[in-house]
């Protein structure tokens, strides 16, 4: 029995949700390029959960259900006053809030397909409310109630800032949501599946997944990219900053990927949005720094950018606080987590791999006074 470090290349389950084959990403057989250009995030949620694109009435029904379930129990809003909200990371707050939401869901431990689907709707609907309420309460602002006449993407930006987004802001944010929605058996999705494969509840699965997404080797990389761009500060500093990191064998956040060999197909869409938005907001230096970093890292390390690299300058251009970048990833990826959780329940078997033991051989217990 020998271990594969990081389970690289191990096929751990079957799934009909998304696939990465020869660097092409598809959701239920639809190329991500096609979806990024044409689909709304609501359509993608439906696609991931039902394995087909919705017709008009199916989409209307889903949109209605998401709108109807967006408000938060007052206890969840009140709990933001129970800790030092300006001192905690929003991903820690989100992880706790989703766990807390489970306490106020009477169906939390109801284990049947219909109840699990209803809970999936509630979780997906409430995530934007949690993230935006947290972001406002920590600034001393009142949460903004969701509107039923806005798209999922526009509603998020509206609840965050209190202002309706422009068409280009809505388009960029919708595209980001579509691009982050699912990604085969990434670390957080695997975490969700391992958790619910014990037949634990859906809130536990999503809470566990948020914990896994938080780390900088996974979803946390988008915030780390923005930290790097802020530290670099100007195009002139890119060379010295990146070269020093590479010489020290430090990782450049937003580059590299376990599965893609030639590059992440999602990055080019975000790169394009980054160019447009940084131009519009009069901050082209964030795009200019990013392309210079990309040139250096690809030429010196042959590592292409991943989805987290250009999403940083896109979210920054939308005026979003940098520590909210990963929670936004969670708002989108929840659609994938929930699809995988429902798929796991439908065809469940406990996930329990083995470990290759590398500790000492058999030892005899020594009483404490003789050690
Ligand atoms: C949504 C997402 O989760 S996308 C990924 C987001 N994460 C990041 O952007 C963080 C930076 N990237 C990384 O840490 C890695 O590329 C990962 C975690 C994404 C993939 O990791 P793995 O497949 O385990 O590759 P691993 O970390 O073993 O790296 C292999 C080699 O490439 C190097 N390498 C990988 N990524 C980078 C990077 N971003 N910068 C510099 N070197 C890198 C490693 O140092 C290692 O070199 P070595 O063989 O000389 O020791
Ligand atoms: O698949 C992965 O390992 C990480 C990733 O790109 C994602 O989760 O979107």
Calpha distance 219→201 (Å, rounded): 23
Q: Which ligand is nearest to the CA of 297?
A: 1
* CB distance 32 to ligand 2 below 6 Å: no
Query: What pLDDT shows up at residue 342?
Result: 98
Which ligand has an atom closest to residue 180 CA?
2
The answer, yes or no, to whether any atom of ligand 2 lies below 6 A from the CB of 266, is no
For residue 8, report the distance from its CA to the centre of ligand 2, in Å.
Answer: 13
Cα–Cα distance for residue pair 13/351, rounded to 1 Å:
9
Q: Is 311 in the pocket of ligand 2 (CB under 6 A)?
A: no
pLDDT confidence bin for 181, thresholds 50/70/90? very high
Per-residue confidence band for 12, with pLDDT thresholds at 50, 70 and 90: very high
In this predicted structure, what is the pLDDT of residue 336? 98
Average confidence (pLDDT) over 167-177: 98
Considering every ligand atom shown, identify the ligand nearest to the alpha carbon of residue 304 and give its number: 1
Query: What is the widest separation between alpha-carbon atoms in the chain?
Result: 76
Catalytic residue among 105, 201, 308, 323: 308
Position 311 scores a pLDDT of 98
Give the per-residue pLDDT at 195.
98
Q: How confident is the model at residue 1 (pLDDT cuts 50, 70, 90)?
A: confident
76's CB contacts (< 8 A; 6+ apart) are 97, 100, 101, 104, 130
- To test the ligand 2 pocket, which listed residue (258, 270, 340) has its Cβ within 8 A of the most ligand atoms? 258
Q: What is the pTM of this model?
A: 0.98
What sign does the CA torsion over 244, 247, 248, 252 have? Answer: positive
ipTM above 0.95, yes or no: yes
Q: Whose CA is nearest to atom 3 of ligand 2?
A: 186
Q: What is the pLDDT of residues 271-317, one digit of tens each?
A: 999 999 999 999 999 999 999 999 999 999 999 999 999 999 999 99
Using the mean position of ligand 2's atoms as its centre, give its distance from the Cα of residue 234 in Å: 29
pLDDT at residue number 320: 98
* Residue 274 CA to ligand 2 centre (angstroms): 20
Question: How many C-beta neighbours within 10 Å does residue 264 have?
Answer: 26
* Lowest-pLDDT choice from 30-34, 178-182, 259-263: 259-263
Establish whether 322 is a catalytic residue. Answer: no
Ligand 1 atom closest to residue 245's alpha carbon, by position in its atom list: 41
Reference 6, options 219, 209, 357, 258; nearest CA is: 258
CATH no. for 221-317: 1.10.230.10
Euclidean distance between CA atoms 191 and 197, whole angstroms: 10
Mean of the per-residue pLDDT values for the chain? 97
* Given 180, 183, 257, 316, the catalytic residue: 257
Say yes or no to pLDDT of 161 above 90.
yes
pLDDT digits (tens, 9 = 90+) for 46-96: 999 999 999 999 999 999 999 999 999 999 999 999 999 999 999 999 999
Nearest CA to ligand 1 atom 40: 251
pLDDT at 10 over 90: yes
Residues of the chain with CATH 1.10.580.10: 15-166+180-216+323-346
The answer, yes or no, to whether residue 32 has pLDDT greater than 90, is yes
Q: Which atom belonging to ligand 1 lies closest to the Cα atom of 218?
A: 3
Question: From ligand 2's centre to the CA of 139, what distance in Å?
Answer: 32
User: Which two tokens mark 153?
Assistant: 């993407």
Question: Each residue of 306-339: pLDDT tens digit?
Answer: 999 999 999 999 999 999 999 999 999 999 999 9
* 292 CB within 6 A, ligand 1: no
CATH 1.10.230.10 boundaries in the chain: 221-317
Q: State if residue 6 touches ligand 2 by the CB under 6 angstroms criterion.
A: no
**Known catalytic membership, residue 23:** no
- Indicate the SS3 state at residue 20: strand
Q: Mean pLDDT over residues 158-164, rounded?
A: 98
In a mutational test of the pocket of ligand 1, which residue from 6, 8, 256 has the highest number of ligand atoms less than 8 Å from its CB?
Answer: 256
CATH of 15-166+180-216+323-346, one of 1.10.580.10, 1.10.3720.10, 3.40.50.720, 3.60.20.10: 1.10.580.10
The pLDDT value recorded for residue 2 is 86
Quote the percentage of the chain above a pLDDT of 90.
99
Whether the CB of 327 sits within 6 Å of ligand 1 = no
């Amino acid at each position: 029995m020998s271990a594969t470090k990081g389970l690289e290349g191990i096929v751990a389950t079957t799934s009909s949700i998304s696939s990465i084959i020869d660097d092409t990403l598809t959701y239920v057989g639809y190329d991500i390029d096609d979806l990024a250009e044409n689909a709304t995030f609501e359509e993608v949620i439906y696609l991931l959960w039902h394995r087909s694109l919705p017709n008009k009435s199916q989409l209307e029904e889903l949109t209605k259900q998401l709108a109807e379930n967006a408000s938060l129990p007052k206890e969840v809003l009140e709990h933001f006053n129970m800790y030092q909200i300006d001192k905690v990371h929003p991903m820690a707050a989100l992880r706790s809030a989703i766990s807390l939401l489970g306490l106020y869901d009477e169906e939390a431990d109801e284990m049947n397909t219909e109840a699990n689907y209803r809970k999936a709707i509630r979780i997906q609907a409430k995530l934007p409310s949690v993230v935006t309420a947290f972001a406002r309460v920590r600034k001393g602002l009142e949460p903004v109630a969701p509107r039923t006449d806005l798209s999922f993407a526009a509603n998020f930006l509206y609840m965050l800032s209190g202002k309706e987004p422009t068409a280009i802001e809505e388009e960029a944010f919708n595209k980001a949501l579509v691009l982050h929605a699912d990604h085969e058996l990434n670390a957080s999705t695997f975490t969700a599946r391992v958790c619910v494969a014990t037949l634990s509840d859906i809130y536990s699965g999503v809470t566990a997944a948020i914990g896994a997404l938080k780390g900088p080797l996974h979803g946390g990389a988008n915030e780390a990219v923005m930290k790097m761009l802020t530290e670099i500060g100007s195009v002139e500093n890119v060379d010295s900053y990146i070269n020093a990191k590479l010489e020290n064998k430090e990782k450049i956040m937003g580059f590299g990927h376990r599965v893609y060999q030639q590059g992440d197909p999602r990055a080019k869409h975000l790169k394009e949005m980054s160019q447009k938005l940084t131009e519009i907001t009069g901050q082209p230096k964030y795009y200019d720094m990013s392309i210079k970093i990309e040139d250096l890292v690809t030429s010196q390390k042959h590592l292409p950018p991943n989805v987290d690299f250009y999403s940083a300058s896109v979210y920054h251009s939308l005026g979003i606080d940098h520590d909210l970048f990963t929670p936004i990833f969670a708002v989108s990826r929840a659609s994938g987590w929930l699809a995988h959780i429902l798929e796991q329940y439908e065809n469940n078997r406990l996930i329990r791999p083995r470990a290759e033991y590398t500790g000492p051989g058999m030892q005899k217990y020594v009483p404490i006074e003789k050690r």
